[in-house]
Amino acid sequence: MSALAHEPAAQAAAPVGVSPAGAVDIAVVQFAPGADTVANLTALRAEVRAASELGAKVVIAPEYSMYAVTRLDERVVKAAEPLTGPFVNGLRGIAAEFGVHLVAGVVEAPGGDQPADRIYNTLVAATPNAEFAAVYRKVHLYDAFGFQESELVLPGPLDPPQTFTVDGVVFGMQTCFDLRFPEGIRRIADAGAHVLVLPAQWIPGPGKVDQWTTLLRARAIENTMYVAASDQAAPRGSGASMIIAPSGAVLAELGDQPGIATARVDLDQLREVRATNPSLALRRFGIREE
């Protein structure tokens, strides 16, 4: 496991190595996207390249990797693209170029009968074959702490959990503010996920990093699953990207500057945790779908 600052010498470190069966090396990349979508794609490619050189087979980038500002306004609508647009095509190409599964947050133009002045806050998971592994549209919008994401963003549909599988390891996706709603993440655990993938733009503020780390570890502990959380770097994000074990132990973490954190997801270890603490099996309440 490792957590690297953005220094060329550190990024050139030796690969993690070949994963045993039922194990996958993953990375969360923390960078600072801005309002230039082409520059963001170029920066993300460099991050994915560095992560792949460290041995990662799944690379997780932040929410709004495509386009990021401190406070959303009408510019985000102009920047939006369909999932067939150049940014997502670029993501798929990067995944293929470096032979990884890549998850990143994009600004999706909804099309169809949806309002033309709104967007979806969407996660795209791309495969090493440049295909779509999964697509998730953020359900819980950030109408809190003085922000009103719903003014420009449509809530995603309450579809079944979006998951994808890499070498037998199942990954499920949620976004940023979704972290505060444990029932949504419990649905992902119920769908068989071993890892929660959580890209974010966790807006800085008093106590926000404490809340972030507490909630991430709680979601790992209560669902006995790995959590891989990729936040934006300062100044628009709080940083503190991390990978957490099913026991709640932090395997790798970053500060608030750009960097890469890596760790190995191991299903044998997950099974050991679930055997010791079978909290999912001992539940007496389920999740009711609306």
Give the closest residue to 225 by CA, choosing from 171, 159, 283: 171
Catalytic one of 47, 63, 108, 149: 63
290, burial (CB in 10 Å: exposed 0-12, middle 13-18, buried 19+): exposed
CB 69 within 8 A of CB 37: no
Cα 149 from Cα 207, distance rounded (Å): 21
Catalytic one of 47, 149, 176, 253: 176
Q: Give 108's strand partners.
A: 81, 120
Q: Is 131 a catalytic residue?
A: no
Cα 116 from Cα 114, distance rounded (Å): 6
Helix (H/G/I), strand (E/B), else coil: 28: strand
Cβ neighbours of 231 (radius 10 Å): 28
CB 104 within 8 A of CB 87: no
Q: Is 78 a catalytic residue?
A: no
Catalytic one of 81, 138, 149, 253: 138
Q: Is 253 a catalytic residue?
A: no
Triad 182, 224, 51: Cα angle to 5°: 95
Residues designated catalytic: 63, 138, 176
